[in-house]
Homo-oligomer: A and B are copies of this chain.
Amino acid sequence: MVDVADPVCGPGEVLLRVRAASLCGTDNHIYHWDASIRPRIEKATGGVSRSLTIGHEFCGDVVEVGSEVRGVARQASEPIEVGDFVSAESHIVCWECYSCRRGQHHLCERDVILGVERDGGFAEYVAIPATCAWVNREPMVPEVASVLEPFGNAVHAATEYPLEDASVVIFGAGPIGLFTVVVALAEGARDVVVVDPMAFRLDLAKKVGATRCIETVALPADDAAGREAERQRVVRAIHESCADGRVDLCFEMSGHPDAIDNALRALRRGGKMIAFGLSRDNEVPFRRYSQDVVFGGITVKGIIGRKIYDTWYRTRALTAQPDVREKIQTVVTDVLPFQDWNIGFEKMARRESGKVVLRLD
């Protein structure tokens, strides 16, 4: 923890007094200065000569509004004023590239990420572009408002295809997998099955409403027969958990090749798999490509970030429901004072937590 100069609020920006910030796996990689993230940060900071305030999941109160941010206009929907309580969208997009011009800002070719390539929210004050400030209108405790960014990942993933009457399987019960349970149920999914190797996480899944939890068993890489038997057991358990044995939608939030394989096997013809989890190895075998993907008429869709602003409007509709806010709070297993940030990172490393939030107020 160090003293840094108070950030300056640019003409198109707002200055926030941070109230809460939550830990993400990416922060953990930065904290441990992992090879996977180092180049991106070094490039952004111009080497290690300059420090960077990390943290891209946070909320705070507006204490200053830049001179070129439009004022309150009757009719205009999202004027920002001093005193507003906002959650931050972490991606600063360029609004000019091909993706942005086609309404796919989450795929911006020149995006800059708060807390990764520019100072973020693990600080008392942070300046962010007004376009990244989402005004919360619902009564919301800071630990909920600070996790709307990852919750928005789940909203984006879960609203890509219709959920009404759908049988859904979620592979991976980390925070975003758990949020996906919450969203899928709120949007009318019929069966919500969660598959994960850890009992602690499956317990959380049950608490937020999963209709069935399936615990997987890790087997040594060289036990081919055992692993195939395990795969068959898992797919059978999935089918038995869904009405008519029909799986409409799989959310792959773990990045594990076996999970990807199980997802494709379990899906009905015409089903969809959301690819969100990053695999440890870049290469992933699609074991039954012709059989499952082609003959099955299956769709695999990669999802990153949040749609700007469709996902945020949908997030608002969801968090307007007290029940949804309560479940988000259930996923937040640890709320710590800001100075205990290192305790938070340790809990995360042991994977004995849902989401960890640091409070500053």
Contact = CB atoms under 8 A, between A and B. Distances in A.
Contact of A284 (B96, B99, B289): B289
Nearest to A188: B317
Contacts of A285: 283-286
Given A98-B244, A244-B77, A106 B287 contact: no
Given A190-B317, A283-B286, A293-B275, A269 B107 contact: yes
A249 to B, nearest CB: 13
Interface stretch (A116-124, A220-228, A299-307): A299-307
Given A97-B76, A282-B290, A310 B107 contact: no
A150 to B, nearest CB: 15
Contacts of A255: 290
Given A75-B97, A78-B101, A96-B78, A302 B310 contact: no
B301 A299 contact: yes
Query: What is the copy number of this chain in the assembly?
Result: 4
A70 interface: yes
A317 B246 contact: no
Q: Among A77, A295, A318, which residue has the most Cβ atoms of chain B within 10 A?
A: A77
Contacts of A287: 282-283
A299 B297 contact: no
The DSSP consensus for interface residues of chain A is loop
Interface residues of A, number: 72
A288 B294 contact: no
A309 interface: yes
A21 interface: no
A310 to B, nearest CB: 7
A298 interface: yes
B109 A96 contact: no
A103 interface: yes
Contacts of A291: 282
A98 to B, nearest CB: 3
Interface in A265-289: 268-270, 275-279, 282-289
A73 interface: yes
A96 B76 contact: yes
Interface in A76-107: 76-78, 94-99, 101-104, 106-107
Given A190-B317, A299-B302, 16 more contacts: A75-B244, A78-B98, A98-B246, A101-B313, A102-B313, A107-B270, A137-B243, A165-B313, A275-B289, A276-B294, A277-B294, A284-B285, A285-B285, A297-B301, A299-B301, A300-B301
Given A77-B101, A98-B76, A246-B98, A283 B279 contact: no
A75 B109 contact: yes
Interface string A57-79: 00000000000001001011110
